[in-house]
Chains A and B, each alone.
Chain A
Amino acid sequence: MSLLLDLHGLTKAYPGVVANDDVSFEIARGQVHALLGENGAGKSTLVKMIYGLVRPDAGRMILDGDAHAPDSPLAARDAGVAMVFQHFSLFDALDVAENIALGMSDPSPMRDLAQRIRTVSRDYGLPLDPGRIVGDLSAGERQRVEIVRCLLQSPRLLIMDEPTSVLTPQEVEILFATLRKLAAEGTAILYISHKLEEIRALCDAATILRLGRVVGRCDPRDASASELAEMMVGSALAAPARPAHEPGETVLEVTDLSLPPAHAFGTPLRGIGFTLSKGEVLGIGGVAGNGQDELLAALSGERLSPPGSVRMGGRDLSRLAPEARRKLGLLAAPEERLGHAAAPDMSLTENALLSGHIRKGLARRGFIDWSKARHFARDVIAAFDVRTPNESVAARALSGGNLQKFVIGREILQAPDILVVNQPTWGVDASAAAAIRQALLDLAQGGAAVIVISQDLDELMEISDRFAALNEGRLSAPVPAASLDVERIGLMLGGAHDLEVAHDTGDGAGIFERTKMKQAAR
């Protein structure tokens, strides 16, 4: 393999932080090169320099023998660099062809372009209809649009910034097949991720960044996931400790909870029933869109349910609003951090106040006790190692992992009797995720009951006492997690009522395979 891109001594500093410090590495033609690192390690800044969005303070790049110093994405594209963004750079109201034309330097006329889109997308197994409005597409299809946009320019280097975070397991498989095909044709791929299993399955070289510096290089196929994680984090990751315990008294009883969907694309809840006892962690798994958000809303009080369907210690909660449930000790942390769990433009203090004012007594007779509120926010920041300059920073300014730690910590420090969390470690790096899981276990250890709704099966296996699966708004009967193996979980996720279908469509099986892959990685 011959050398394509040579990065030498790249440095970029922002006020107060050095994002990249003397970063050097090489990418060969046809190589799938992983760029590994935790949130804030400087991965995004580095690729933005290669793509011409940011100019380095020092250092040089050599692309195929020529100096590469793009001053705009346009120049980078002309040099043969294409990029698929972490947050989609798509326009919802425009159609597929228009979106693709916008990302190209010299697009052909629309009619030819539509034809080329059809051809290329079919060749690479990513079928796309150029006339569809992007806003109507699924996450996987939207990503196809971005990839096809890159492919149409026949790039020499394709940069992918965390491409799999929004994809279903099946879509990940399709993506990997496409990337392998591209690599076989000689395109170099720079693949950014912190999902170690994926990198081990796909990449043939890896550079690891920590705090803006290169801390290691390896062949990910030869390294174990825990070795990679250790290089990323800088210390060995401790698996959460979960001492055995006897089930306590029942604190939450959900019986025959049914709700119609909240909106046109929602899932109804169908006769959900379970009990939860003191000190227990109940894990609820399932593929996204099977009723997770709806279940959380029904438990937190965002949506009221039929009388008698949610009872806490004999008391009927089903018609109580979130505030009243908080008062009684049932707290919840929803999945969407910005806009649901936290108000993006409000400070951390204000966000702490919004959910904590009742249990922490942060408001008296309608007046806010600001010093107490600030104290509470500071406590959360200190206890959960939230990296932020201070508590007056807007929630939006925090990285995903840090905000997640804040949101979960805010609820835990209110000493709930019952805590419901949805996707507690989604988009969070390995060490932060481990910290959050440990905090949830500690909470249960202290006698609280915890419900963890998650799509990460490893996470659920690691922390739950009992496990149940959500499928099309139905919840399977919870079973002890220790007695489960991967195969059984795969079947539960597919829905016990249609086992064959699940196998045929690969729906349950896909997850199942992926989990196996993860296990093999350990």
Chain B
Amino acid sequence: MDLSAISATLLVASLMVAATPILLAALGELIVEKAGVLNLGVEGMMITGAICGFATAVETGNPVLGFAAAALGGAMLSLVFGVLTQIFLSNQVATGLALTLFGLGLSSLLGQGYVGIKPPSTARLDLGPLSDLPFVGRVVFGHDWVVYLSLFLVVATWYFLRRTRAGLKLRAVGESHHAAHALGLKVRAVRLCAIAFGGAMAGLGGAYLSLVRVPQWTEGMTAGAGWIALAIVVFSSWRPGGVLLGAYLFGGVTVLQLNLQAAGVALPVEYLSMSPYLITIAVLVVMSARGSKRSLGAPADLGKQFHATH
């Protein structure tokens, strides 16, 4: 094996690309869960976003429009979940799982005419001399705009949750919907908005896969990225910074195992491919063994049904 074939520059740069879809989806799910809703349909919303974005970008030739369509598609699909769970009070876990299955089927249907087509490419931002710097230029200043958007959204999410009144209300709704209702907050409306935001973010993440990372359309191409996004939210203890860390860690392991495979490490491919998942499980076990539910930071009313009783 030849480890020198692995270039640190390319490794870090591709790590950021690999992490971006799950970072986007996980940030969305973070907001959803902070509002007290457990949407297990991330995978379905991601793949729906992937095909909506892909199809729109191919038809219009404009990847930006593609991303917008992906966000819209993800949000629309998430609102199916929102209406079912918030207005018809269906079970969140069952509805979320159904949403995943529905999204996978819907995307296959929509994507029938798009297999094997190459989408218009999303250009790297040219930051002039900055991009020409050694290492840093390639790693920090050599990406497409979605990578920067995702990083900006990490900060924006943190600011929203910690520093704004709307963010405080969202956290309050997730913490105790009865208390929030008694204080006159609109629990359902807050949750529907959060769900739609989560769907839009998952859609963006999916479109990043189909338009930039892969880039082409195949059925089931998200391959579990939505589930990883869900795990990362827990891993992060419901903090935006933790989501960034988790997503990059995960992206890093994914990229590293690809590189190791390419370098011919004498380990069966299967072990390397399962390593990110094993690490996720290990981290989750360690985290929950370490503290109670509260110190983990889980919203107290996560996944609970809200029915105003007056």
Contacts and interface: CB of A to CB of B under 8 A. Distances in A.
Interface in B133-189: 165, 168-169, 171-172, 175-176, 178-180, 182-185
Interface string B28-40: 0000000000000
B179 A88 contact: yes
A208 to B, nearest CB: 24
A73 interface: yes
Contact of A98 (B168, B182, B294): B168
B187 to A, nearest CB: 13
Nearest to A74: B184
Interface in B179-215: 179-180, 182-185
Nearest to A73: B184
A72 B187 CA distance: 13
Contact of A91 (B165, B176, B310): B176
Contacts of A92: 175-176, 294, 300
A89 B165 contact: no
A103 B183 contact: yes
Contacts of B165: 101, 107
A509 B179 CA distance: 36
A135 B293 CA distance: 12
Interface string A87-112: 11111111000100111000100000
Q: Which range holds the interface residue count of chain A?
A: 20 to 34
A54 B168 CA distance: 25
Nearest to B181: A53
Given A98-B168, A101-B168, A135-B294, A54 B183 contact: no
A89 B300 CA distance: 14
A17 to B, nearest CB: 13
B169 to A, nearest CB: 7
B182 to A, nearest CB: 4
Contacts of A48: 310
Nearest to A102: B172
B182 A91 contact: no
Interface in A46-85: 48, 52-54, 72-74, 77, 85
A94 B184 contact: no
B103 interface: no
Contact of A73 (B172, B182, B299): B182
Given A48-B310, A102-B169, A135-B294, A94 B175 contact: yes
Contacts of A52: 184
A476 B165 CA distance: 53
Contacts of B294: 92-93, 135
Contacts of B310: 48, 53-54
A350 to B, nearest CB: 20
Nearest to B179: A89
A282 B185 CA distance: 49
B168 to A, nearest CB: 6
B168 A93 contact: no
A48 B294 CA distance: 31
A53 B310 CA distance: 8
B182 A89 contact: yes
Nearest to A88: B179
A85 B175 CA distance: 17
Given A92-B175, A102-B172, A72 B184 contact: yes
A89 B169 CA distance: 14
Interface in B287-305: 294, 297, 299-300
Given A89-B183, A93-B171, 11 more contacts: A48-B310, A72-B184, A73-B182, A73-B183, A88-B179, A89-B179, A90-B179, A91-B172, A98-B168, A102-B168, A102-B172
The 8 tightest CB contacts between A and B, nearest first, are A73-B184, A89-B179, A91-B175, A89-B182, A74-B184, A72-B184, A54-B310, A102-B172
Interface of B: 165, 168-169, 171-172, 175-176, 178-180, 182-185, 294, 297, 299-300, 310
14 contacts: A48-B310, A53-B182, A72-B184, A88-B179, A89-B183, A90-B179, A93-B175, A93-B294, A93-B297, A98-B168, A101-B165, A101-B168, A102-B169, A135-B294
